[in-house]
Amino acid sequence: MDSTARFLLSLVTAATFLQVRSTVTVIGLYGETIEVPCNNGAAKPKDLIFTKWKYEMDDGTYRDLLVKQAHKEEAQIQAMDGYKDRVSIAANSSLMIQGGSLVDQRTFTCMVVYGSNLDEHPVDVLVHKKPLPPQIKDKAKELENGKLTSLGVCMAADANPAAVIMWSKNGKQLVADGKTIIITPSVKMDPSTGLSSTTSVLQYTVVKSDVGAKFTCTAEHSLETQVSSPETFIIHCEWSTPPPGGL
């Protein structure tokens, strides 16, 4: 009986602790204002004294962003870095970060001091950006029947996280087999913005039936999956009859 109670108590305590300590993740949009909720947007304590937002540096130390005294109208911005002009606090204690960028992908902590208590609510912020519409470049001028040729390069630029590119022929996904279809993807990150550009090179061996086929590439991203405009290719057929004139 006693041990059960104790167990329950410890469970509850652990749960409370976890609730306070558990990290919430928020995904914000690149370039837009990121709202980082304090304590999951829970109501402010009645005897709130102040709310402070801070963030964790890469070296594990904390930097203060702002302090909002409960009895004052305006928050005091304490940041001295790039956040100085970008942060504010909403009425519900959420931290508002203007012009979200990848540097904001870090842990922000809301410190709530009330009565005789102090709670800290860390929030992990991720900043996502969908890629620019995928485009097929470096298109092959003409394709030779039965010959493995680089069809083109598809690029989905400036995304976070990086987009995944897939190729399709007439709306049907092409699967690389290492012989007739070779797809070579690569991801490059812009060091200044941190955004990733995905490129994918399609090497394809055309067959007769590919005449008039529409090739597209698809950039798959958590925010939006986009499809490039379709491309058709001239297929040079050495041994075959010319393609029907009325195609």
Partner 1 sequence: MNLVKLILILQTLQSCQAYKDDSSQTGKNASQLELDKNQTEPYITLQSNACSWSPRILRDEIWTSVTFTAESRDQLAHQICMELGCGGVYSLTETNAPPNSTCLTNCTYHEYRLQNCFHVVRINCAMVSDVICEHQAVRLAGGEHRCAGRVELWREGQQWGTVCDDEWDVGDADVVCAQLDCGYALSVTGQGGAFPQGKDPIYLDELKCTGKEGNLWQCPASGESHDCGHKEDAGVVCSELKAVRLTGGVDRCSGKVEIHRNGSWGTVCDTCWGKEEASMVCSMLGCGEPVHFLAFIPPFTHNNSTLWYYQCFPNHTDLWQCKEFANKTLLCADSKAAGLICSGSHGRYLPVTTETATTVLSRTPGPVTTASVSNDGFPFSMSLELLGCISLSFLLLMALVTNTLLCCHYRRRDALLVQQRHANLQTPTEHHDNDYRDSVNLIKVTTSSPTENDVPSNPRYQWTQSSVDSTSVDTDYEQCDLSTEAAVHMTTFQNSIRYKQDTRNPFMRATALDSLSEEAHAGDNHNIFIGGIVDQDPGCNIGPPSVDSFDSSSTSSEECYENTGKDVEDLLTSEGMDQWQPPVTHNANNHLTPSRNPDQTHSNDQGVADGNSGDYEEEGHLNSPDPNQSSSEGDYDDIANYLDSNPEQGY
Among 34, 38, 65, 67, binds partner 1 (CB under 8 A): 67
Least CB distance to partner 1 at residue 80 (A): 3
Neighbouring C-beta atoms of residue 129, cutoff 10 Å: 24
Residue 71 in contact with partner 1, rule: CB under 8 A: yes
For residues 53 and 108, give the distance between their C-alpha atoms in angstroms, rounded to a whole number: 7
Q: Would you say 65 or 235 has its CB closer to partner 1?
A: 65
Neighbouring C-beta atoms of residue 105, cutoff 10 Å: 17
Do residues 26 and 125 touch, judged by C-beta distance below 8 A? yes
The Cβ-side half-sphere exposure at 54, using a 13 Å CA radius, reads: 14
Site for partner 1 in 93-112 (CB under 8 A): 111
> What are 18's two structure tokens?
């976890």
Find, among 16, 238, 1, 231, the residue nearest to 137 by Cα. Answer: 231
Residue 69 in contact with partner 1, rule: CB under 8 A: yes
Among 34, 87, 95, 113, binds partner 1 (CB under 8 A): 113
Residue 54 in contact with partner 1, rule: CB under 8 A: yes
Least CB distance to partner 1 at residue 67 (A): 5
Among 4, 25, 116, 209, binds partner 1 (CB under 8 A): 116
Q: Would you say 49 or 164 has its CB closer to partner 1?
A: 49
Do residues 233 and 243 touch, judged by C-beta distance below 8 A? no
Do residues 94 and 79 touch, judged by C-beta distance below 8 A? no
Among 5, 43, 80, 175, binds partner 1 (CB under 8 A): 80
Residue 72 in contact with partner 1, rule: CB under 8 A: yes
Least CB distance to partner 1 at residue 107 (A): 15
Least CB distance to partner 1 at residue 133 (A): 42
For residues 211 and 184, give the distance between their C-alpha atoms in angstroms, rounded to a whole number: 23
Q: How many H-runs (helices) and E-runs (strands) does the chain carry? A: 1, 19
Name the residues that contact partner 1, by CB under 8 A.
Answer: 49-50, 52, 54, 62, 64, 67, 69, 71-72, 74, 76-80, 84, 111, 113, 116-118
